[in-house]
């Protein structure tokens, strides 16, 4: 029994993996010709292990090795080709977007281990091919026989690009806000921000006086489920106040973690987290 594998990429990793999986009953030989790399897997003459181990077991070992080669070697190149060919992504950022896409694929594989393309289905498709063929051009197999897998890569690339664009726009937005804060003269020395489990907040100055009447009149402070409005409102108020120090209370109560990250990004070292005081422990109506 002989199986010949071919690819334009180096097959050293695949040969090593197959050598460990197939064992001493098989011999592996590699060579190059016509711009391709070849790996021949042959059952050693005189070995009778084949009768003890069904043919389909050998095919599954080879299929699993080729599937791992596709994911570990070809997939990055395929993703980079999709990202650079279909989206206007700067070359120096393409590698990072590709890493995002692979992370998305890995998350899907963990969530659906029995039905995801990078796992069982890819191995099954290769095994089906090897049941009727002893020669496998891996590059051609991916290009012409795995359209579903390529579509999965395109979906992951699209999601990764969307994440990249959102984060880039967010970073640009943060830079603008930081500039505004740096240009502002502080209107108060210190502001205490009390976050609520429902997603609302209250603002107090250093003397425990409420600041909403002066800076938030006309707005609904406790906006409940509308997280976007809540974050925008709080951020707008603090930029207007431009305090020298911001003390955050109640951050451990659930909501508010997104705005905490944003506030730290905009105000930097001005933000301080309270480790637990009366403001953190008491309900809002006590203030």
Judge contact between 151 and 142, C-beta under 8 A.
Answer: no
Say how far apart CA 257 and CA 3 lie, in whole Å.
55
- CA gyration radius, the chain: 29
pTM score, whole prediction:
0.75
Question: Which is nearest to 123 in space by CA: 68, 170, 171?
Answer: 68
- Residues 164, 169, 175, 180: what is their CA dihedral angle, to the nearest 10 degrees? -160
Judge contact between 199 and 232, C-beta under 8 A.
Answer: no
Over residues 29-66, the pLDDT tens digits come to: 999 999 999 999 988 876 555 545 556 678 889 999 99
Say how far apart CA 208 and CA 246 lie, in whole Å.
13
- Higher model confidence: residue 82 or residue 217? 82
Over residues 229-242, the pLDDT tens digits come to: 677 888 888 998 88
Q: Per DSSP, what are the bridge partners of residue 195?
A: 201
Say how far apart CA 77 and CA 99 lie, in whole Å.
11
- Higher model confidence: residue 259 or residue 63? 63
Residues 165-173: what's their mean pLDDT?
Answer: 93
pLDDT band at 254 (very low <50, low <70, confident <90, very high): low
Please give the mean pLDDT across all residues of the chain: 84
Q: What percent of the chain has pLDDT over 90?
A: 50
Q: Which two tokens stand for residue 251?
A: 């951050």
Residues 128-154: what's their mean pLDDT?
Answer: 94
């Amino acid at each position: 029994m002989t199986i010949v594998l071919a690819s334009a990429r180096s097959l050293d990793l695949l040969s090593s993996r197959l050598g460990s999986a197939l064992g001493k009953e098989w011999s592996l030989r590699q060579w190059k010709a016509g711009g391709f790399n070849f790996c021949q897997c042959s059952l050693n003459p005189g070995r009778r292990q084949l009768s003890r181990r069904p043919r389909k077991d050998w095919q599954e070992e080879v299929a699993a090795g080729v599937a791992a080669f596709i994911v570990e070697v070809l997939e990055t190149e395929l993703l980079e080709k999709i990202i650079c060919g279909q989206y206007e992504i700067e070359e120096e950022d393409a590698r990072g977007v590709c890493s995002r896409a692979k992370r998305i694929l890995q998350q899907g594989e963990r969530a659906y281990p029995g039905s995801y393309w990078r796992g069982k289905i890819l191995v099954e498709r290769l095994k089906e091919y090897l049941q009727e063929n002893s020669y496998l051009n891996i590059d051609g197999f991916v290009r012409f026989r795995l359209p579903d897998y390529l579509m999965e890569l395109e979906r992951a690339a699209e999601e990764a690009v969307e994440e990249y664009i959102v984060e880039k726009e967010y970073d640009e937005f943060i830079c603008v806000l930081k500039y505004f804060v740096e240009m502002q003269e502080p209107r108060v020395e210190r502001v205490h921000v009390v976050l609520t489990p429902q997603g609302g907040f209250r603002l107090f100055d250093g003397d425990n006086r409420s600041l909403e009447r002066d800076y938030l009149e006309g707005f609904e402070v406790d906006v409940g489920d509308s997280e976007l409005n809540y974050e925008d409102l709080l951020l707008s108020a603090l930029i207007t106040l431009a305090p020298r120090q911001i003390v955050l209370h109640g951050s451990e109560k659930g909501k508010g973690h997104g705005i905490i990250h944003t506030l730290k990004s905009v105000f930097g070292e001005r933000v301080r987290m309270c480790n637990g005081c009366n403001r953190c422990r008491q309900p809002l109506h006590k203030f």
